[in-house]
Amino acid sequence: MSSAAIAMTIAARKARQRGWTIGFAVVSAVLLYVTVVNVIERPDGVKIGACFIAGIILVSLLSRLARAFELRVTHVTLDDMAERFIRDMSHRKIRFVANEPGERDAREYRAKIEQIRQDNDIPSQEDFVFVEVTVTDPSEFEAGLTVRGEVLHDRYRVLTLESSSIPNALAALLLRVRDTTGRTPHIYFEWTEGGPYANFLRFFLFGQGEVAPVTREVLREAEADRELRPRVHVG
């Protein structure tokens, strides 16, 4: 009741209804006073309520942790350009580079390719397609995935995705490419800077963090056969 009264006070103030604002403010003050008095005189209700709240939060956290490595993409939709990229790669080794988008200028993509080649000792004639995932609502557990292809700076092919979890989106894309082409795709990452615990917490709460190992774990959970599983490389 106190929360509702405060909400009405704020709504009346935004609506510039001075009389209603004062009235709801008085009611809010009275209800808050009664709440404080009840808490002081009879704290048992607050203790019981706090236990229920703590239990709900604990169960929610355990549930999210238990399902953190599940493949939570219901379907993958490719636009015409993305399908063309995948069709072109189907005749040779399929190599993707996971890239966290920054300025998206030519220097960024050129430096990324050079770094991946050096870290993984890949010949210069091998070709790559970049994959960039933008995190939307991290609390969204299950959704479809739309993949869009574009050519940047007349030479760099980029697949862009939006998802609540970067590792889930990448794993779903790799499995879709494997099923479409019949070939095993490879994806290349850089190690994430920072401690593993902090990075896992970032992934757990916001869908970002230890992207490479979590992507590999999502793939392992989704595909038990090692021979059929897309390859994850980290350098």
Retrieve residue 19's tokens. 């009389």
Q: Give Cα 88 distance to the centre of its chain.
A: 28
pLDDT of residue 148: 96
Q: Which residues contact 181 (CB under 8 A, 6 or more apart)?
A: 86, 89, 90, 94
Q: Rounded to whole angstroms, how far apart are CA atoms 164 and 133? A: 9
Lowest mean pLDDT of 31-40, 127-136, 226-235, name the range: 31-40
- Max mean pLDDT range (2-11, 132-141, 195-204): 2-11
Predicted confidence at residue 54, as pLDDT, reads 92
Statement: residue 180 has pLDDT above 80 = yes
102: exposed, middle or buried (Cβ count in 10 Å: 0-12, 13-18, 19+): exposed
Q: What is the mean pLDDT of the chain?
A: 88
pLDDT in tens, 112-144: 999 999 988 888 777 899 999 988 876 676 788
pLDDT higher than 80, residue 193: no
- How many other CB atoms are found less than 10 A from the CB of residue 93? 13
CA distances to 38, 41, 208 from 28, in Å = 15, 20, 40
Q: How many residues does the chain have?
A: 235
**Separation between Cα atoms, residue 1 and residue 101, nearest integer Å:** 46
- Please report the pLDDT score of residue 207 as a whole number: 59
How far is it, in rounded angstroms, from Cα 189 to Cα 214? 12
CA–CA separation, 38 and 26 (whole Å): 19
Q: Is the full-model pTM beyond 0.75? A: no
Establish how many alpha carbons lie within 13 A of residue 176's alpha carbon, considering only the half-sphere containing its beta carbon: 21
Instruction: State the pLDDT confidence band at 152, using cuts at 50, 70 and 90.
Output: very high
Strand stretches in 65-201, DSSP E: 73-78, 95-98, 129-135, 143-152, 156-163, 186-189
